[in-house]
Amino acid sequence: MTAAKVELGRRLFYDADLSIDGTMSCATCHVQKHAFADSTRTRPGVTDEPGRRNVPGLANVAWFTPLNFADPAATTLEAQAATPVFGTHPVEMGMAGREAEIGRRFGRDSCYRVMFARAFPDNGGRIDFSNVARALASFERTLISRGSAWDRQQLDPEAQAGSVLFVRDCASCHSGANFTDLTMHRLGPVDPALADQGLFEKTGIETDRGKFRTPSLRNVALTGPWWHDGSARTLDEAIVRHGLTHDAGEVAQLIAFLNALSDTEFTGRKSLAMPEEACGKRL
């Protein structure tokens, strides 16, 4: 990582020219005020094909692998960038088969030519998707969230009680500093008729049906709706779906704890927002 790569990646993250019709950027789905998640159940792509899975938040994504809900091969941010840009199941940004167009588009911008040259002196500032992905990954590695009430050890009594319940009932999967074991699990019965069969679609192993990666709970109160398909409309519903037995008071305590994982400094940090200028000129 270098400052030049991060600066370039930040601009690219907000640039809709990464999509076929110039209507969708990374930030279209990964919205800062939602902790770089979305506020919809699933987000359709440029062709209006419905999305299959809920948009995950990107807080501390530098430490995640695998990176997708049900694809064990997506182990680096550089590799994962190809999924929204070139993917066809579903179509998101719609650039499949048009990789060369990315270089042509950004190469027409004199400021981008300068920024790529600064960011990638090792290969002459080449403007292609490989360097785009490297720059995006560099920016994404700066999406660091460590400012919640939990991080500051400033839980109120309700959240503190919720933290005890959380450790007892939830932390076996939502473990570690980012509240995820980064492992794929199945919750509830398997329905072979569902359109999304999770990990099974990649492995073909019957026991992988319905398995999805444990999501991080950092900023979870800001990233709803929840579940891999966005079908849980409230945190109460998401908690109940885990099949645990909590009374209304305990659910309220758990939600108080989950709210304490929100980092409003992160969601308002100016250095992560859409840049206002590049090469000394306003964008």
pLDDT higher than threshold 90 for residue 37: yes
Does this chain's domain 3-144 share its CATH topology with 157-265? yes
3-state SS string over 154-211?
CCCHHHHHHHHHHHHHCCCCCCCCCCCCCCEECCCCCCCCCCCCECHHHHCCHHHCCE
In the predicted model, what is the mean pLDDT of the chain? 97
User: Which CATH number does the domain 157-265 belong to among 1.10.760.10, 1.10.3720.10, 1.20.120.350, 1.10.10.60?
Assistant: 1.10.760.10
pLDDT higher than threshold 90 for residue 188: no
Phi, psi of 219 (to 5 degrees): 60, 25
pLDDT higher than threshold 90 for residue 79: yes
**pLDDT tens per residue across span 198-253:** 999 999 999 999 999 999 999 999 999 999 999 999 999 999 999 999 999 999 99
**pLDDT tens per residue across span 145-177:** 999 999 999 999 999 999 999 999 999 999 999
DSSP 274: P
Domain boundaries, the chain: 3-144, 157-265
pLDDT higher than threshold 90 for residue 139: yes
Q: What is the mean pLDDT of residues 43-70?
A: 96
pLDDT score recorded for residue 45: 97
Contacts for 157 with CB less than 8 Å, ≥ 6 apart = none
153/114 Cα distance (integer angstroms): 44
Question: pTM surpassing 0.95?
Answer: yes
The 10 Å Cβ neighbour count of residue 204 is 9
CATH number of 3-144: 1.10.760.10
